[in-house]
C-alpha cells in the first residue's frame, strides 16, 4: 500500500520543484523556507550537514561489514557464497551501502519512497557513489538503468525513487542514465512472499524499450533503493541481457539480511 504523508505535503511540493528548477537562487530561497532539521532524528542541521540528513545519521548507517564476497558484496560466511548462487551468470558484481532495516536506513528509504522526501536521494546517492566496485566494473560500466515502478504506482507517487538515485549516481560517476526497462505486467507486492514466490512473481515482468543496438555489448549497472532476495533485479537483468547487454552489475542503497547474517 502506498502511504502519502500529507503532514509533509507542503515541503514535498517544494522539494520536488527544486529537482526540476535547481537554480542556485531558488535553492537559497528553499534553504530559507525549509526547516533546517534532519528528517530522521530532528536534530538541527549544521553547515557541514546535507540539506536534509545530518552527518550523525549518515554515520549510524549499519554498513555491510567486511570481509565481503568480491562478486556480490555480501558479508562473507565460511564456504561458498549463498548470495552469489541466486545471481545469473551474466551478473558481474553487486554492491550495497547498508543493511535495511538497521540504524536510520529503514526510515530514510521509507521517507524517500512514501513521504515525498526526494531530497534524501542526494545523500543516499553520495554513499552509493563511494562503493568499492571491482576495477573492471568501474572501467567498463557505461549505462545506468533504474528498476522501473509499475505505471500505476509511478502515477500515484509522482516519481520513481530508483530513477532519482540513478540520475544522481550518474552525475557522480559520469555515466549516462536511461529508463531502459518497463514493467510488462503488474506484480504483487513482494513483501509477504517467500523467496520462491518472489521469483515466480517477477519472472518475465520486465521488458527493455531499447533496441538491441543500443544495449549491445554494454555493461549496465541496475540501480534500486533496496535489494531483498534480488528476484526483481535478476528479472530486470535477464530482460537487459536478452535485449543485448553483455554484462550487468547492481547497486543499491540498502540490503536486507539473509538468513544467518549477523546483525
Ligand atoms: Zn539525523
Ligand atoms: Zn557472493
pLDDT digits (tens, 9 = 90+) for 46-86: 887 888 999 999 999 999 999 999 999 999 877 778 899 99
Q: Where are the domains of the chain?
A: 63-255
Distance 93 CA to ligand 2 centre (A): 9
Angle at 146 between CA 143 and CA 151, to 5 degrees: 140
pLDDT digits (tens, 9 = 90+) for 146-190: 999 887 787 888 899 999 999 999 999 999 999 999 988 766 666
Q: Pick the closest to residue 231 from 185, 192, 199 (CA basis).
A: 199
Terminal-to-terminal C-alpha distance of the chain: 28
User: What's this model's pTM, rounded to 2 decimal places?
Assistant: 0.83
Phi, psi of 56 (to 5 degrees): -65, -45
For the CA of 67, the nearest ligand: 2
pLDDT digits (tens, 9 = 90+) for 199-232: 677 777 899 999 888 999 999 999 999 999 899 9
Distance 235 CA to ligand 2 centre (A): 18
Q: Reply yes or no on domain 63-255 having CATH 1.10.357.
A: no
Query: Can you tell me the distance from the alpha carbon of 77 to that of 198, in angstroms, rounded to the nearest whole number?
Result: 24
For the CA of 123, the nearest ligand: 1
Q: Pick the closest to residue 224 from 151, 145, 153, 131 (CA basis).
A: 145
Distance 232 CA to ligand 2 centre (A): 17
Amino acid at each position: 500500500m502506498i502511504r502519502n504523508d500529507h503532514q509533509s505535503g507542503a515541503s514535498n511540493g517544494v522539494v520536488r520543484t527544486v529537482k526540476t528548477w535547481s537554480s542556485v537562487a531558488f535553492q537559497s530561497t528553499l534553504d530559507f523556507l525549509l526547516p533546517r532539521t534532519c528528517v530522521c532524528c530532528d536534530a538541527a542541521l549544521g553547515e557541514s550537514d546535507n540539506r536534509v540528513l545530518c552527518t550523525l545519521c549518515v554515520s549510524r548507517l549499519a554498513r555491510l561489514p567486511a570481509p565481503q564476497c568480491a562478486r556480490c558484496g555480501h558479508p562473507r560466511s565460511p564456504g561458498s557464497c549463498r548470495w552469489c548462487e541466486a545471481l545469473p551468470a551474466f551478473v558481474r558484481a553487486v554492491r550495497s551501502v547498508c543493511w535495511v532495516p538497521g540504524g536510520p536506513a529503514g526510515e530514510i528509504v521509507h521517507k524517500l519512497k512514501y513521504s515525498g522526501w526526494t531530497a534524501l536521494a542526494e545523500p543516499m546517492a553520495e554513499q552509493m557513489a563511494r562503493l568499492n566496485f571491482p576495477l573492471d566494473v568501474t572501467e567498463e560500466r557505461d549505462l545506468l538503468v533504474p528498476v522501473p515502478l509499475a505505471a500505476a504506482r509511478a502515477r500515484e507517487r509522482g516519481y520513481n525513487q530508483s530513477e532519482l538515485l540513478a540520475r544522481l549516481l550518474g552525475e557522480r560517476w559520469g555515466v549516462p542514465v536511461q529508463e531502459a526497462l518497463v514493467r510488462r505486467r503488474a506484480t504483487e507486492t513482494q513483501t509477504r512472499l517467500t523467496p520462491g514466490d518472489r521469483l515466480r512473481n517477477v519472472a518475465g515482468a520486465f521488458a527493455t524499450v531499447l533496441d538491441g543496438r543500443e544495449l549491445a555489448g554494454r555493461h549496465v549497472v541496475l540501480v534500486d533503493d533496496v535489494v531483498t532476495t534480488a528476484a526483481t533485479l535478476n528479472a530486470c537483468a535477464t530482460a537487459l541481457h536478452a535485449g543485448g547487454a553483455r554484462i550487468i552489475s547492481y547497486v543499491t542503497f540498502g540490503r536486507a539480511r539473509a538468513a544467518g547474517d549477523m546483525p
